[in-house]
Chains A and B, each alone.
Chain A
């Protein structure tokens, strides 16, 4: 096993991996920004966000912009660490 251990099952999906990629290089991103970048439907994105939130890899901040509710997402410290471990593991699996 060894390096396979660090492959995180939670990141084993294009959308979840995408959400984390965006949130580790940006302080935060709101729902519509994520949707635009990832090119997914509302329901699909929401369910993946929920999964990451449940694992405490991301946190949310609700606010109002022009009286419209706006949810902004950011990566937690735990999420960043797990994501980094996952990337390191991926890199090791790819033959040079």
Chain B
């Protein structure tokens, strides 16, 4: 009887241990002040902005809803406004949530989240600018490299190691590939072939040192 009580107590402590481990792992490695409401707001801004843009830009005639030379500037202003509003809302709501939970908004996890968020975003933005500038479509290799790189960067958050460096390399090569589509094949080889070999080599060396 006594033994059984003791055993139960021990079990309870171990369960507490496990719960505490789980909570610390989450709190220390993930940004937890993001508010779902900011996503809803961003969606609403986009819908409203889109509706207004549609009304002003495409109300006369049956033009397709797409960028062209005539509406480029106006449409850009709409897009940038939506972006700024969304970022501002996300920031304010996160700050509120962090305060409620007595946590710092700007800590390691916030920094990590922002960096991981901005890398795909800025890459995508640059790619779109390049496509706009050149109006070419032979960018298959480029897109493969870029999205592979983005996938690596995202996956790195859940894996031990530094896969993200390979991700950065793939993204840069993918962007170069978009600028120089005539060299697409060689850049594809550089990204998928050489970069993998070099990165794999570094990893092996590091593992040996550890």
Contacts and interface: CB of A to CB of B under 8 A. Distances in A.
Interface residues of A, number: 21
Given A33-B108, A93-B10, A95-B11, A22 B25 contact: yes
Nearest to B27: A37
Contacts of A37: 24, 27-28
B107 interface: yes
Interface string B97-112: 0000000100110000
B210 interface: yes
B24 A18 contact: yes
A21 B27 CA distance: 10
A22 B28 contact: yes
A76 B104 CA distance: 28
A14 B21 CA distance: 9
A67 B24 CA distance: 30
B40 interface: no
Contacts of B182: none
Interface stretch (A23-31, A41-49, A50-58): A23-31
A26 B109 CA distance: 10
B11 A22 contact: no
A36 B27 CA distance: 11
Contacts of B104: 36
A17 interface: yes
Given A14-B20, A18-B20, A33-B107, A25 B11 contact: no
Interface of B: 10-11, 14-15, 17-18, 20-21, 24-25, 27-29, 104, 107-108, 210
19 contacts: A17-B20, A18-B21, A21-B20, A21-B25, A24-B25, A26-B108, A29-B28, A33-B108, A36-B104, A37-B28, A87-B21, A90-B17, A93-B10, A93-B14, A94-B11, A94-B14, A94-B15, A94-B18, A95-B11
- Top 3 A-B residue pairs of the complex, sorted by shortest distance between their CB atoms: A21-B24, A22-B28, A25-B29
